Amino acid sequence: MPQYMDIAVNLVGSSLEKDIQRVVDDAAIHSVTSMVVIGSQIDESKQAIELCKQFPNQLYSTAGVHPHHASQWQPDSLDTLKELSQASCVLAIGECGLDYNRDFSPREIQRKAFAEQLALAAELQMPVLMHERDAHEDFLAILKEFRSELPAALLHCFTGNKQSLDAYIKQDLYLGVTGWVCDERRGQELASIVADIPNDRILIETDSPYLLPRSMRPKPKSSKNEPKYLPYIAQYIATLKAQSLEDFAAQTYLNSRTFFGLKN
């Protein structure tokens, strides 16, 4: 029976927050035995840590500031994140990066917060979980400044093209793939190149409650994505990569545990 790790779920501050026990239980029934709760701002990172204490060895977390919230970055933010990262459940710095699609925070501040969080991950020798949307050139330039000092780096929810894929693989990044790949409208390009992601660099995620796989049949009654749907995404990608589900699931589980420094 395949085992899965969902490497990016948004349980704090989302529509799933009020139903976490059921979400975790349903995930376990579908062999999703562990998941990483994303911290996208400092208060959320603190809440994620407290949540993880209720579900040891099932829930882990990150600590970071998402580019959407970069305008909240303060002189003491780095010290706070450094302190939060000491919690045993915190496996990575992030979610950090650049988002020029929505520009919820000024780009200059996004770049500053991103660079400082990469520096922190390098100092602490922790993996970093990153976000990039419509900001490839600036993202890559900043990442290159720190990449040699980072133990491991993951671009989650990868939705780029072949050119960006090649550039990120050249930087030895792990790439997280979501149900976006199942979207017949927006995910066709990703579906066409997902087989080019090296087997030892691909991770899978739901990014719950977002990005419900559009190709699921029967279609879930709720539009909310959940970790329990991760096996469906795995099967979809395994087919695109011409691999068996068992082999693909085992490889991505190993990749996830390796990236986050967990025992297999």
- Known binding residues for a divalent metal cation are 95, 131, 156, 207
Token pair for 86: 């000491």
Token pair for 69: 């919230």
82 and 124 Cβ atoms separated by less than 8 Å: yes
Helix axes 77-84 and 107-124, enclosed angle (nearest 10): 40
Token pair for 38: 């994303």
207 and 225 Cβ atoms separated by less than 8 Å: yes
197 and 165 Cβ atoms separated by less than 8 Å: yes
Q: Can you tell me the distance from the alpha carbon of 210 to that of 9, in angstroms, rounded to the nearest whole number?
A: 9
